[in-house]
Amino acid sequence: MTQESKILLGTSLQGFFYDHLQEFNTKSLNPLRQEAIFYSSMVMDAYGESAKFFEQVDNRAREKILGIKLMESSQFPREKQKQVLRDIAETSLLICGFFHDSLNKKIVDARYYEDIGKIAYTRLDSFAPEAYDIPSFFKMMANSFSDVTMLMSLVSKKYSTDSDPAIPWLILKDRRIS
């Protein structure tokens, strides 16, 4: 059976992402906590709809300008600020992870989005100091940002059409090596 003719069966998109993130996580020299893998799979599932990557401005969809949203977030009431920070952090996570290759065509690089995501997660931690029964969960996500995005990137590469299934995967810190 060729890679193009494979049919993937699963109970949910989140379960699919969880299984594959976990597969790569177990091969990592510094595996992430299960809660980080679970949360990351939820983010990937939630952003399975392309509409989550865009915002509506004057009845037109446009890319979120995360840096400006991050600056503006401090002006919002507490609950709105929490919601906006989470959206910024999760969007950054997906852009740097699953859609890392799309950054090759942008003026700003992955480091910009990574910094914004880490800042948003760190600020979010002050609003939600505990999640999934883990104190400072979002601070942990900020500190693990590049490791999580690496796992997401590997999942993305595994299912890209130009991926060679015969190449073994070795998890390294540098994305340029694969």
Residue ranges of domains in the chain: 14-158
Q: What is the pLDDT of residue 53?
A: 67
CB atoms within 10 A of CB 87: 18
pTM, full prediction: 0.80
The token pair at 170 is 């070795």
Q: What is the pLDDT of residue 7?
A: 53
pLDDT tens, residue order, the chain (178 aa): 445 555 555 568 889 899 999 999 999 888 999 999 999 999 999 887 766 767 777 888 777 788 999 999 999 999 999 999 999 999 999 988 887 766 666 677 788 999 999 999 999 999 888 888 899 999 999 999 999 999 998 988 887 755 555 444 444 444 443 3
Q: Are 124 and 117 in contact (CB under 8 A)?
A: no
Q: What is the pLDDT of residue 168?
A: 46
Q: Are 123 and 84 in contact (CB under 8 A)?
A: no
Q: How many CA atoms lie within 13 A of 101 on its CB side?
A: 10
Longest dimension (CA), the chain: 55
Separation between Cα atoms, residue 145 and residue 149, nearest integer Å = 6
Q: What is the pLDDT of residue 57?
A: 77
Q: What is the pLDDT of residue 82?
A: 94
